[in-house]
Amino acid sequence: MYRYKLTLEYDGTPFSGWQRQSDRMSVQQALEEAIAKFSGEVVTTQAAGRTDSGVHALGQVAHFDLSRDWDPFRVREALNYHLRPNPVGVLLCEAVDDSFEARFSALARHYEYRILNRRAPAVLERNHVWHVPMPLDADLMHIAAQSILGLHDFTTFRSSECQAKSPLRTLDHFAVRRELDHVVVTASARSFLHHQVRSMVGSLKLVGEGKWTPARFRAALDAADRSKCGGMAPSSGLYFMRVDYPAA
> Quick one: 223 and 188 in the same domain?
yes
Contact predicate 4/97, CB 8 Å: no
Higher pLDDT, 199 or 21: 199
> Quick one: 14 and 36 in the same domain?
yes
> Quick one: 153 and 238 in the same domain?
yes
- Residue 99: CB atoms within 10 A of its CB come to 8
Residues labelled as active-site residues = 52
For 235-245, how does the pLDDT look when each residue is reduced to its tens digit (9 = 90+)?
999 999 999 99
**Residue 101 counted as domain residue:** no
For 119-128, how does the pLDDT look when each residue is reduced to its tens digit (9 = 90+)?
999 999 999 9
DSSP 124: T
- Residue 206: CB atoms within 10 A of its CB come to 19
pLDDT, position 45: 97
pLDDT score of 167 more than 70: yes
> Quick one: 112 and 92 in the same domain?
no
**Residue 103 counted as domain residue:** no
**Residue 102 counted as domain residue:** no
pLDDT score of 9 more than 80: yes
pLDDT, position 248: 66
Give the integer Cα–Cα distance in Å for 91 and 223: 42
Question: What is the domain range of residue 38?
Answer: 2-96
**Residue 126 counted as domain residue:** yes
Domain's final residue, options 96, 121, 137: 96
pLDDT, position 33: 97
> Quick one: 86 and 137 in the same domain?
no
State how many domains the chain has. 2
Residue 128 amino acid letter:
H
Beta bridge pairs of residue 88:
10
Domain harbouring 205, CATH code: 3.30.70.660
If you average pLDDT over residues 40-56, what whole number do you get?
96
Domain harbouring 25, CATH code: 3.30.70.580
Q: Is the dihedral of CA 86, 88, 90, 91 positive or negative?
A: positive
Domain's final residue, options 50, 72, 96: 96
pLDDT, position 163: 85
- The helices-and-strands tally (H runs, E runs) of the chain is 5, 10
> Quick one: 172 and 81 in the same domain?
no
247 pLDDT tier (thresholds 50, 70, 90): confident
If you average pLDDT over residues 13-27, what whole number do you get?
94
> Quick one: 191 and 116 in the same domain?
yes
